Structure 1
């Protein structure tokens, strides 16, 4: 079992885990014709549609944490592949709404199953998806994701 490189910073460990996850998902969804980024988009869109929402590209960008321009590029590629449709929002002609096609829903369901299996493997050392350690890990991840990051602010230092 690896505890990570000696002297590794938390930032390095977060980066390593995110890279491990991205590579694993890329490999797992490639047979379905998707990349990790495309999977993130269609899986999020799938969940939003199941909740009755037809999000705009901007809303989906906010939800996924991806840059709006990147979401637009991914959406165009997924539209070309026949997995989603892009339409103008009747309430805001500047906004583009996204929806999965039937083919997109089928590919996404299959991809979600594959990625869920990967997630079970990843979380097995913590006791699996439903374990107390995984729930605690999720709380910690949520706290980190909720923490504001401003690359231009000065770090606070302790005053003596």
Structure 2
């Protein structure tokens, strides 16, 4: 059943455009925090569970470890995390929040608040929408959601 869909009718475009709009909304707030969106994602993983390895961070974000390593190095240079080689496996690097990195968690709440305000949606509506998007992600990747 093929349809001639307009761009706006294509879910892939709607998700892409929405992601770009969220990034534009977040950018000035992230600039004030002194981090980029990818760095925010790494910090978010560590706020869930501190002391994760680079590989575990990459897995959680559906990225390659080679993508995470430069992000972690920049966060370390900014004094937000520390990197430590694991004594049991010298090839493995553990990443831990510094007090500055941990404190950024409460400061970053402005991101969610800005999104709720701009979208004009209640938290419950946003959570329900996110669950639907996660369900789609899980169906497309064959994974189980962590949310």
Gaps of 5+ in 2: 1-5, 142-147
| TM-score, normalised via structure 2 length | 0.82
Shift of 1:58: 0.7
Q: 2:132 aligns with which of 114, 118, 140?
A: 140
Q: Deviations over 1:14-70 (max 9, x none)?
A: 100111112222221101111111111112211212xxxx21011011112233212
Shift of 1:144: 1.3
Q: Deviations over 1:80-103 (max 9, x none)?
A: 111100001223221110001011
Q: Measured at CA, do residues 24 and 67 of structure 1 come closer, stay the same or move farther in structure 2, by a change above 3 Å?
A: farther
Shift of 1:13: 0.4
Q: 1:96 aligns with which of 93, 96, 114?
A: 93
Larger Cα Rg: Structure 1 or Structure 2? 1
Matches within 5 A, 1:11-160: 11-49=12-50, 54-111=51-108, 113-124=109-120, 127-131=121-125, 134-149=126-141
Which structure has more helix as a fraction of its residues? 2
Q: Deviations over 1:96-152 (max 9, x none)?
A: 1000101111223212x111212322553xx41124xx4432331121111235xxx
| TM-score, normalised via structure 1 length | 0.76
Return 72-81 or 58-67, whichever deviates more: 58-67
- CA root-mean-square deviation: 2.1
Would you say the 8 A contact 2:42–2:57 is kept in 1? yes
